[in-house]
Structure 1
Amino acid sequence: MSGPSRSPEPARHSLMDEAKARLKKHDVGTKYSHLSSNKFSVLLPLLVKEGKLYLLFTLRSEKRDTLITPVVGFIDHNFQAQPNPDEVKSVFLVPLEYFLHPHVYHQSYLTHSDHHVVIHCFEYTNPEDGVTYQVKGVTAKLALFLALIILGRKPIFEMEFNLNDLISSSEENFLKLHKHATSKL
């Protein structure tokens, strides 16, 4: 006869509470809400599965030259996506840690008006079905930034954020991109 089984709920709540606390320290509120009339939000849904934080993704189109507000939400670990196939091609999970230690990763660089922009591209193969997905562009940048905030560790690749001062480095990065996007030159 085995001993009493231990519920994973306390560990799940501890991971979520720690992530929420780290996110709260980096919340800039409405500081930049005045900068653009083209505003969109991107939901970054996190869930705890098998003792790790995962990001839930959908394949979708990305808007350009707009103000994108990342919104982090926590969803129940039993969540089962039921996407509309006319809007969402597929839904998949990626461990948050993958954005710091990816198996397949590459980056490219763009230069706009003397501003260097890093474009991240992560390739993730889902171990459950063997399908490989790409997380790139704004989505990849937001996923990386979220991993930096919550996990507090440096990735295995070069990045544009300063881990010792995430707020200032991300604001600087954001403002450079915003200035270029709204420039009439």
Structure 2
Amino acid sequence: MFVVLQKLRYFVAGRTALMHVTTMNLKEETVATLKRFDIGEKFSYLPVLPKASVLIPLFVRGGQLHTLLTLRSKELRTGAGEVCFPGGKRDPSDRDDVDTALREAQEEIGLPPDQVEVVCTLFPVFSKRGLLVSPVVGFIEETFTPTPNPSEVSAVFAVPLDFFTREKDHYVTHGVAGMTGPLHSFYFRDPSSGNQYHIFGLTAMLATLVAVLALKKKPQFDVGFDLLDPLAFFKKILHKRLSKL
């Protein structure tokens, strides 16, 4: 009996060590992949515009990349009850886009800035409210437990990144006023709570974009941008919007 227990302990320890190595390898590979899309100073020439940032938090669970999303409080004046990434408007005290994203994530879901490994800042995009939004991608620990600020967030949930590349539960609308290209929409049922969430608009587009870049995987649907050169596409859209200001 003792020998059997010892073998079982070795098996569990070995499996745990293997999962840790797999997690580290996946994380390191993803970080290296996403860093290639960091914009750096490529958009420093842009005029001064109302700015905002969102944090796209990634983590590895069960050998898969996941991201965290929030459900905005129904008491908010704008975007009430919508699904989004943690984020918000630039504050005068923020040093840059990364600072904004980290501050907002701490205020909304209790994520300490020093627990985020910032990977990159992706191409800025315009929101429906005319804000220039910078997506900041960072890794967090799987063990992080959100503490939502009830005045801003009513729920926090995790979604496998691969979900945003699958046709199942994906819907698309074309010809939406003010939108260039398809408007993506997903319906996700959270297995831990049983709640269903509607992910659409800018949030759906950013989630799809990060999934495509991080997983290096072609989605089962038309994303509406060049998979080989997404920067050129988003730069074109950005300049088109700027020309109308």
**TM-score, length-scaled by structure 1:** 0.88
Normalized per residue, the structure richer in strand is: 1
Cα offset, 1:36, TM superposition: 4.3
The one-letter code sitting in structure 2 at the alignment partner of 1:26 is F
8 Å Cα contact 1:36/1:67 also seen in 2: no
Structure 2: how far apart are the matches of 1:173 and 1:76?
A: 34
1:89-137 per-position Cα deviation (integer Å, ceiling 9, x unaligned): 1000110000001521111123668x73321111111122211111111
Moved more, 125-134 or 40-49: 125-134
Moved more, 31-40 or 121-130: 31-40
**Aligned with 1:72: secondary structure?**
strand
Q: Does 1:171 align with 2:182?
A: no
Give the equivalent residue in structure 2 for 1:160: 224
In structure 2, the residue matched to 1:30 is: 41
1:119 and 2:119 correspond: no
Q: Distance in 2 between matches of 1:53 and 1:44?
A: 12
Q: CA separation in 2, counterparts of 1:36 and 1:147?
A: 30
Deviates more, 1:125-134 or 1:45-54: 125-134
Give 1:37 shift.
Answer: 1.6
Matched, 1:58 2:73: no
Cα distance in 2, alignment partners of residues 76 and 168 from structure 1: 32
Which of residues 143, 147, 151 is equivalent to 2:215?
A: 151
Report the CA distance shift for 1:99/1:36 in structure 2 as closer, same or farther (over 3 A): farther
From 139, 149, 173, the equivalent of 1:74 is 139
Matched residue count: 180
Larger Rg: 2
* CA separation of 1:129 and 1:85: change in aligned 2, threshold 3 A: same
CA shift, 1:43, in A, is 0.3
| Structure 1: gaps spanning 5 or more residues | none
Q: 1:102 to 1:132 in 2, by over 3 A?
A: farther
The answer to whether the 8 A contact 2:167-2:221 is kept is no
Deviations 1:164-183 (A, max 9, x none): 2222223223333x33xx62
Identity %: 34
How large is the Cα RMSD of the aligned pairs?
2.0
Which residue of 2 is the match for residue 10 of structure 1? 21
